[in-house]
Amino acid sequence: MTYDPENIFAKILRGQIPAKKVYEDDHVLAFHDINPQAPVHVLVIPKGAYVSIHDFGAKASADEITGFFRAVSKIAAELGLIEPGFRTLSNSGLNAGQEVPHFHLHLFGGRPLGPMLARPPAP
Ligand code: 5GP
């Protein structure tokens, strides 16, 4: 998949669409999800143009990758999620139902989060 610079997170990065910012540094932006699935639901995105976690892992520089995961840790700590626990998730491609084609890590917390995956719909 080629990167679409008109995707919604690219527009947030360019300041064309507002977002409730949680954290920002040279490599990373984090903001609240518009449709939260838990009391804490934050999206962490790299500033570089990567479609998915696969694209990011394959093409991003070591600095970008290190910066990204250092930021995830910092954000989780700042949100008070380390002791109670939290979940991260990244949807990649069709089977995962990825909606926005700019790599993002969901960060969920604030309550017990239940089973790791939803049951598939009954046949
Ligand atoms: P995906 O399904 O791609 O893993 O997740 C995309 C996420 O982006 C969804 O949880 C959705 O609620 C969130 N989202 C979509 N559009 C916007 C937006 O304009 N602003 C914010 N803050 N979140 C959005």
- Spatial distance between the Cα atoms of 78 and 72, rounded to a whole number of angstroms: 10
Dihedral (CA of 12, 24, 97, 56) sign: positive
* pTM given for the model: 0.96
Kindly indicate the confidence band of residue 97, based on its pLDDT and cuts at 50, 70 and 90. Answer: very high
Provide the pLDDT for residue 48.
98
Provide the pLDDT for residue 120.
80
Provide the pLDDT for residue 31.
99
For 35-60, the pLDDT digits (tens) are 999 999 999 999 999 999 999 999 99
Ligand 1 proximity of 91 Cβ (cutoff 6 Å): yes
- For residue 9, report the distance from its CA to the centre of ligand 1, in Å: 8
- For residue 7, report the distance from its CA to the centre of ligand 1, in Å: 11
Q: Give nearest CA residue, ligand 1 atom 24.
A: 34
Kindly indicate the confidence band of residue 122, based on its pLDDT and cuts at 50, 70 and 90. Answer: confident
